[in-house]
Amino acid sequence: MNAEIIAIGSELLLGQIANTNGQFISKQLADQGINVYHHSVVGDNKQRLISTIQIAEERSDLLIFTGGLGPTKDDLTKETIAEHLGLPLIENKEAMDFIEGYYEKIQQPMSENNRRQALVFEGAAVLPNNNGMAPGIALQKENKIYILLPGPPKEMKPMFTDFAIPYIQQLRGEEVELILSRVLRFYGIGESTLETKLMDLIEGQTNPTIAPLAGIFEVTLRLTAKCDIEEQGERMIDELEKEIFDRVGQFFYGYDDTTLSYETFDMLQEKELTVSCAESLTGGFFGHELTKQPGAGQVLQGGIICYQNEIKMNQLKIPEKVLDEDGAVSELCAELMAENVRELFKSDYGISFTGVAGPDEMEGKPPGTVYIGIASPQETKVYPLKLAGDRNAVRTRTVNYGLFYLLKQLVG
Amino acid sequence: MNAEIIAIGSELLLGQIANTNGQFISKQLADQGINVYHHSVVGDNKQRLISTIQIAEERSDLLIFTGGLGPTKDDLTKETIAEHLGLPLIENKEAMDFIEGYYEKIQQPMSENNRRQALVFEGAAVLPNNNGMAPGIALQKENKIYILLPGPPKEMKPMFTDFAIPYIQQLRGEEVELILSRVLRFYGIGESTLETKLMDLIEGQTNPTIAPLAGIFEVTLRLTAKCDIEEQGERMIDELEKEIFDRVGQFFYGYDDTTLSYETFDMLQEKELTVSCAESLTGGFFGHELTKQPGAGQVLQGGIICYQNEIKMNQLKIPEKVLDEDGAVSELCAELMAENVRELFKSDYGISFTGVAGPDEMEGKPPGTVYIGIASPQETKVYPLKLAGDRNAVRTRTVNYGLFYLLKQLVG
């Protein structure tokens, strides 16, 4: 079964809102194992809507419409589809009672155009709207399924999961099969390198499948298995994951919707360890990332934002000689910053960031030159990096690498 | 001229991301007076992409494609359109030099599939990519315009505004009428309050028009004038702006694409003043915001991330008595933090942040309880706030209010 999602509304074509309904429905359908091959967006215009429906009927089995079910003049989805399919519109008693009850409750007169919202196709299934007035409609005609949903996400989403999905499942009967998926998140490896290392798996695998996706400064792989029972699917994904980890496991940091800052925070908390930061290049960005997590007080001991050499000397006791001879952007300075902030704040770990964010070079070093120091109870390690991108990219990548290296040290 | 935006990528059809590119381009085209009648989304599939292009050619004059220009196997937009239009692909020297330079800089070997990114249509215009590797392509053929853009928003957006829009404008020639617009940015006032105060202007104005838009944690107004000559349009917008400032000027902070952190940074730099920060609640977020700006060393003297009371006492010399009696989340603590960090780092201004981010209450104070202290050479002021929202919203609003209050003090 192939699905197409058709969003109707001029606000989408004017760029006032993004088609997040299309995203939501796509995700839900993917979980059901239904392929979505097309999204279409069209305005509140009868001719263009009819032509869009005709195109969709040519190429898709399941047509899901969002928007244009409201009471105003430019809401014409229902009337247009009714005309196109040659179906009469009749008033739905439950929907009309609900609308009238609503106006009684707020003690306001009901304007006549609200009646239009209670109209449904004769013979169609009515999808109740528990979060607004216009009900949804579902029907099957000539081997095509048509589902009409309201536009506002808070009405559309629960209606889709609670009523549209069961409607579709029922029509599909025995077609339903279990779909499991798992997202693996990687840091410090580019999309093309990751894909090259896994090319044979990506091309050879049909179940589970591997879909790479470049995120902002990271790469993810989605593994999706079709199966009859859950244990079987989990085992198939586990096996594939093992093969992937053998090749690129050193870049893996977490599953599904997690973030680097959450994983690092979580590992510190689990091991009851604390960290302090000395931030030159990053100016507080690392501390900010860790304090996004509730309970940050248990892991972040404190930090020094030391953009100036004066602060590096006075607060962090970096010898003037080091700043003069090696420079603030140097392996030695990163090492001392990490060690001294660890000592100053009496934390288990100390992490330091120094480098050139750009756009200009500093101490004769080009933008992207970065040193991250991590002082642990056992030793101090410095990670030198050459990072690409503008000022924002260099600073963001630096903090992410800091979180990643710290996480890798904690995991051991 | 009618436009259609065609987004290519399975991640859209799987619901992993929303089509925010479609939204961005629609908005830009609306500003140019170009009608967008359709959005289409299709996967990385050659047959379906060709069929989508054929449909678009039937109904639209300007076809804008996003996505599928990357180095991997499933990026097939360019090859498919080249085949469809019967155009040979040739390597673009500038793009190839840039890609090779990138890999040299990060000192990594370039995998061979990256070469594909430098291929363009023979005879087409090349749209430079200043934020990534794959260049864009623009060409006119048989009265249709085709524009190919990369998928990642941070590459697509600047390429579209800087290169695609001028390309389109040039092709349209005399059709262009002068449209000027100016965005006014406000902080500390809600969208509905702002709209209520300006309702008569918003409804009464046809040229210039006023379009309110709620951003993340801020509100903007876009004033748009149609005119024959630029001076006339600027004057019309100036007059309307004056009327708006008379009513809500105290919430205004800047024009167009600026940010609160840029404006505050810029004012500090212009007045040659420095600031230091003591960050409890915000954990480095304020320092991070200021150091986003190049040249941050001239204005940010230093900072203390003092999530723990121990650090407040040891580094910032907050008396234990204050923490015991008033608490860390108190007006007095904010005042002393701001004064003491100013003194410690010998800066012109000291700013402090203390409060409850949530989800749990602290010292019997509910989430959203916030105190911001600002110590200047003349006096210390404390701003108490009650902020709504989750942990992330409270922390973001706190930093923005800090930047806003500091800016207002600097402007005087």
Chain B residues near residue A16 by CB distance under 8 angstroms: 23, 27
Higher pLDDT, A366 or A112: A366
Label residue B265 by pLDDT band (50, 70, 90): very high
Closest by Cα among B44, B60, B64, B212 to A42:
B60
Q: How many helices (H) and strands (E) does chain B have?
A: 15, 17
Per the model's pLDDT, the better-predicted residue between B319 and A175 turns out to be B319
**Averaged over A108-119, what is the pLDDT?**
84
Residues of B in contact with A356 (CB under 8 A): none
- By Cβ distance, the residue of A13, A37, A296 closest to B39 is A13
Closest chain B residue by Cα to residue A389: B131
Q: How far apart are CA B277 and CA B348, in angstroms?
A: 11
Q: Are B304 and A304 within 8 A, CB to CB?
A: yes
A284 → closest Cβ in B23, B303, B391: B303
Give the mean pLDDT of B79-87. 95
Contact A291 B277 (CB under 8 A): no
Chain A nearest C-alpha distance from B66 (Å): 14
pLDDT band at B73 (very low <50, low <70, confident <90, very high): confident
- Per the CB < 8 Å rule, is A300 touching B305? yes
* Residue B215 binned pLDDT confidence (cut-offs 50, 70, 90): low
A19/B18 touch (CB, cutoff 8 Å), yes or no: yes
Tell me which chain B residue has its CA closest to the CA of residue A2.
B13
Distance CA B52, CA B56 (A): 6
B116: which DSSP letter?
G
How far is the alpha carbon of B327 from chain A, nearest alpha carbon, in Å? Answer: 16
| Of the partner residues A16, A297, A315, the one whose CB lies closest to the CB of residue B307 | A297
Range from A206-220, A391-405, B56-70 carrying the lowest mean pLDDT:
A206-220
Q: Which chain B positions have a beta carbon within 8 Å of A279's beta carbon?
A: 284, 287
Q: Which residue of A has its CA nearest to B362?
A: A295
Q: Count Cβ atoms below 10 Å from residue B245 Cβ, excluding itself.
A: 13
Name which of B19, B30, B37 is nearest A18 (Cβ-Cβ).
B19
User: Which residues in B lie closer than 8 A to residue A403 (C-beta atoms)?
Assistant: none
C-alpha dist (Å) from residue A15 to A12, B225, B271: 5, 19, 39
What pLDDT band is residue B135 in, cutting at 50, 70 and 90?
Answer: very high
Interface with chain B: mutation pick from A39, A184, A218, highest number of B CBs within 10 Å: A39
What share of chain A in percent tops pLDDT 70? 98
Residue from A35, A195, A291, A395 whose CB has the most chain B CBs within 10 Å, to mutate: A291
Omega before B208 cis (within 30°)? yes
Q: What is the pLDDT of residues A264-286, one digit of tens each?
A: 999 999 999 999 999 999 999 99
Chain A nearest CA to B193, separation (Å): 20
A51-67 pLDDT, tens per residue?
999 999 999 999 999 99
Rounded Cα distance between A71 and A115, Å, is: 8
Residue A379 backbone phi and psi in degrees, to 5: -160, 170
User: What pLDDT band is residue B230 in, cutting at 50, 70 and 90?
Assistant: confident
- Pairing relationship of beta strands A119-121 and A89-91 according to DSSP bridges: antiparallel
Residue with tokens 């604390």: A274
Mean confidence (pLDDT) of chain B: 92
Confidence of residue A230 (pLDDT cuts 50, 70, 90): confident
Q: What percent of chain B has pLDDT over 90?
A: 71
Test the A interface: residue of B10, B11, B12, B13 with most A CBs within 10 Å:
B13
Residue B392 confidence (pLDDT) above 50: yes
Question: Measured between alpha carbons, how far is B265 from A364 in angstroms, rounded to an integer?
Answer: 25
- Count CB atoms within 10 A of the CB of residue A176: 13
Contact B38 A40 (CB under 8 A): yes
CB contact under 8 A, A283 and B290: yes
Phi-psi region of A8 (alpha: psi -120 to 50; beta: other; left: phi over 0): beta
Interchain contact, A291 vs B303, CB within 8 Å: no
In which order are the strands placed within the sheet that holds B380-386?
A380-386, A369-375, A349-355, A275-279, A300-305, B300-305, B275-279, B349-355, B369-375, B380-386
Q: Which residues on B lie below 8 Å from A19 (Cβ)?
A: 18-19, 22-23, 39
A42: which chain B residues are within 8 Å (Cβ-Cβ)? 37-38
Cα B259 from Cα B252, distance rounded (Å): 12
pLDDT in tens, A20-49: 999 999 999 988 889 999 999 999 899 999
Q: Would the CB atoms of A283 and B288 count as touching at under 8 Å?
A: yes
Distance (Å) from the C-alpha of residue B146 to the closest C-alpha of chain A? 19
The residue among B190 and A169 whose pLDDT is bigger is: A169
Closest CB to A195 among B36, B48, B72: B72
> Is pLDDT of A74 > 80?
no
Chain B residues with CB-CB distance to A25 below 8 A: 15
Closest CB to A300: pick one of B70, B71, B307.
B307
Question: Which has the closest alpha carbon to B127: B145, B110, B112, B103?
Answer: B145
Please give the interface size between A and B, counted as residue pairs whose CB atoms are below 8 Å apart.
Answer: 264
What is the distance in angstroms between the Cα of A213 and the nearest Cα belonging to chain B? 7
Place of tokens 């969709």: A56
β-strands B252-255, A62-66: how paired? Answer: unpaired
Which residue type sits at B81? I
Q: Can you list the domains of chain A with their CATH numbers?
A: 2-175 (3.40.980.10), 178-255 (3.30.70.2860), 260-411 (3.90.950.20)
ipTM of the complex: 0.72
- Sign, Cα dihedral of A376, A380, A385, A387: positive
Kindly report the nearest CA distance between residue A14 and chain B, in angstroms.
5
For B188, phi then psi, to 5°, come to 80, 15
Q: Which of A216-220, B47-51, B171-175 has the lowest mean pLDDT?
A: B171-175
What are the beta bridge partners of residue B370?
A: B355, B385
d(CA B263, nearest CA chain A) in Å? 17
Tell me if B23 and A38 make a contact (CB, 8 A cut-off).
no
CA-CA distance, B163 to A235, in Å (whole number)?
50
pLDDT for res A177:
65
pLDDT category at A175 given cuts 50, 70, 90 is low
Instruction: Report, as an integer, the average pLDDT of A152-162.
Output: 91
Q: What is the mean predicted confidence (pLDDT) over B43-61?
A: 95
B32 falls in which pLDDT band (50, 70, 90)?
confident
What is the predicted pLDDT for the residue at B131? 85
The Cα of A326 is separated from the nearest Cα of chain B by a number of Å equal to 19
B174 pLDDT above the threshold of 50:
no
Distance from CA of A229 to the nearest CA of B (A): 22
For position B285, what pLDDT does the model report?
Answer: 98
**Secondary structure in 3-state letters for B230-276:** HHHHHHHHHHHHHHHHHHHHHHEEEECCCCHHHHHHHHHHHCCCCEE
Q: Residue B274: what pLDDT?
A: 97
Do A284 and B291 make contact, defined as CB atoms within 8 angstroms?
Answer: yes
Q: How confident is the model at residue B216 (pLDDT cuts 50, 70, 90)?
A: low
DSSP E strand boundaries for A142-214: 144-149, 178-186, 209-214
Kindly list the residues from chain A whose CB atom is less than 8 angstroms away from the CB atom of residue B359. 294
- How distant is the Cα of A34 from the closest Cα of chain B, in angstroms? 10
Q: How distant is the Cα of B31 from the closest Cα of chain A, in angstroms?
A: 9
CA–CA separation, A199 vs A192, rounded Å? 10
Give counts: helices (H), strands (E), chain A: 15, 17
In chain A, what residues touch B59 (CB-CB under 8 Å)? Answer: 51
Minimal Cα–Cα distance from A330 to chain B, Å? 18
d(CA A309, CA A210) in angstroms, rounded, equals: 48
B38/A48 touch (CB, cutoff 8 Å), yes or no: yes
- Residues of chain A with C-beta less than 8 angstroms from the C-beta of B308: 297, 301-302
**Residue reference for tokens 């999961």:** A161
Alpha carbon of B29 to those of B15, B23, B24, B245: distances in Å?
Answer: 25, 10, 9, 29
- Report chain A residues whose CB lies below 8 A from the CB of B27: 14-16
Chain B residues with CB under 8 Å of A195 CB are 72-73
Across the interface, whether the CB atoms of B19 and A24 are under 8 A apart is answered no
- Please indicate whether residue B233 or residue B375 has the higher confidence score (pLDDT): B375
Instruction: From chain B, pick out residues whose CB is under 8 angstroms from the CB of A368.
Output: 105
Nearest beta carbon to residue A388 from set B23, B72, B106: B106
Residue contact A18–B14, C-beta within 8 A? no
